[in-house]
Amino acid sequence: MVGVKMVKALVMIMTVALSLGLGGQWAAAQVHHVVGGDRGWDSSSDVASWSAGRVFRAGDKIWLAYSPAQESIAELQSKEEYESCDVSNPIRMYTDGLDVIPLDGEGIRYFASSKYDNCKNGLTLH
């Protein structure tokens, strides 16, 4: 019969071996977040409700799905630009209709509809 201490030791050894096999990095599941769910990035979506309680981690990806004929999305530099819907100096504009954005590191990023009315009505994500 194997004791509890022996099982814990084996689990620890296997965890370290797995970590070393991954180049010393801990494995984490990458999550793909489709912003707005089934409706995507759309003025009828409730992006705020969709994002409430959702955890975004470094290594995840966010997917922006929208109609490029109706919409484009600005990635903004600051909270002030985000809150005022000032898209005049974006870091980047997304215009393809399906954009995959890797979350490469920690920090807050700001996305807003390039249409002022849509932005003011909540078509934003931070």
Q: Return the amino acid letter for 34.
A: V
Identify the residue with better confidence: 104 or 28. Answer: 104
Helices (H), 4-122: 4-21, 47-51, 79-84, 116-120
Alpha-carbon gap, residue 42 to 64, rounded angstroms:
10
Q: pTM for the complete prediction? A: 0.76
Sort strands 73-76 and 61-65 into parallel, antiparallel or unpaired. Answer: unpaired
Alpha-carbon gap, residue 106 to 58, rounded angstroms:
6
Strand partners, 63: 34, 100
Q: Which fold has domain 30-125?
A: Immunoglobulin-like (2.60.40)
Show me where the domains of the chain are located.
Answer: 30-125
pLDDT tens, position by position, 9-68: 333 444 444 334 444 454 467 999 999 999 999 988 899 999 998 999 999 999 999 999
